[in-house]
Structure 1
């Protein structure tokens, strides 16, 4: 972390001094793309276009770029699909309760704007009922085969 700008020093001088110290430490050595020209832009690019290009270059998942409220709402919509692959009812309840705890934590934080989407809580019992309905029926219990019967003429031996 850099120190604060000393009083009486111009901002440009202070920044130049910070850059010179970083060069002396070797902070700019071996950076990716060092010695290569910057890529050419074919057209004028706005901030929105730049952000989209950056997300494509980083191979970012679009869900990671959503505001927190919308991400929670999307996750709530995807809960029934995630529940179908869980092995037990306890795992379903744990997933739903974890989601509800994160929603309640979101409600406690101050919102960035008044138009922030407010997600709702997940209905735990409805998710458990959905999980039970989508489970394949359990296989019937195997009845052991009766032992082979001995013929009456073999019994005398």
Structure 2
């Protein structure tokens, strides 16, 4: 773009020629963000827009921004879903133990808002895990109802 516009040539013609030459050189190939939609420029941005954008880029949830007691309480509420895919009881008990250890550490030196969080009963979580596992096995073992297929000429 060091070339200056020649005198007497229309500005639009000169600009179009510069763009065409850049395209021929491949200056517009493989640009970052190519093929991605433009951000919604008409949407009003809040003051935390940059934090939300960074979380999206990093693939993180907004839970990392919560104070520790709220994060722990949320983990306690989602524990049943978190341990459901685990294959062994020992792993379930280890997951509960890790969470209880973090809860105990927070209870020793609380910080953040005063939120009631108490340790989780590992035996209760294991009981629920076994029930969920048994239900899943029963569903898989149950024969599927036979679907009566209609003949093609009666459809």
**TM-score, L = length of structure 1:** 0.52
Q: Which has the larger radius of gyration?
A: 1
* Structure 2 residue matching 1:50: 3-state secondary structure: coil
Structure 2 match to 1:119: 117
Alignment of 1:137-156 (within 5 A): 137=137
Q: Name which of 116, 130, 133 aligns with 1:135.
A: 133
For 1:81 and 1:110, the matched residues in 2 are separated by 27
* Structure 1 residue matching 2:116: 3-state secondary structure: coil
Provide structure 2 residue ranges, at least 5 long, that are not aligned to the other structure. 1-40, 142-155
Q: CA RMSD in A?
A: 3.0
Structure 1 match to 2:52: 56
For 1:107 and 1:70, the matched residues in 2 are separated by 13
For 2:114 and 2:51, the matched residues in 1 are separated by 22
Deviations 1:49-94 (A, max 9, x none): 322x022210241111111100000000000001111010000000
Structure 2 match to 1:6: none
Residue 110 of structure 1 and its aligned partner are, at CA, apart by 4.2
For 1:110 and 1:119, the matched residues in 2 are separated by 11
Provide structure 1 residue ranges, at least 5 long, that are not aligned to the other structure. 1-40, 141-157
Structure 2 match to 1:67: 67
**TM-score, L = length of structure 2:** 0.53
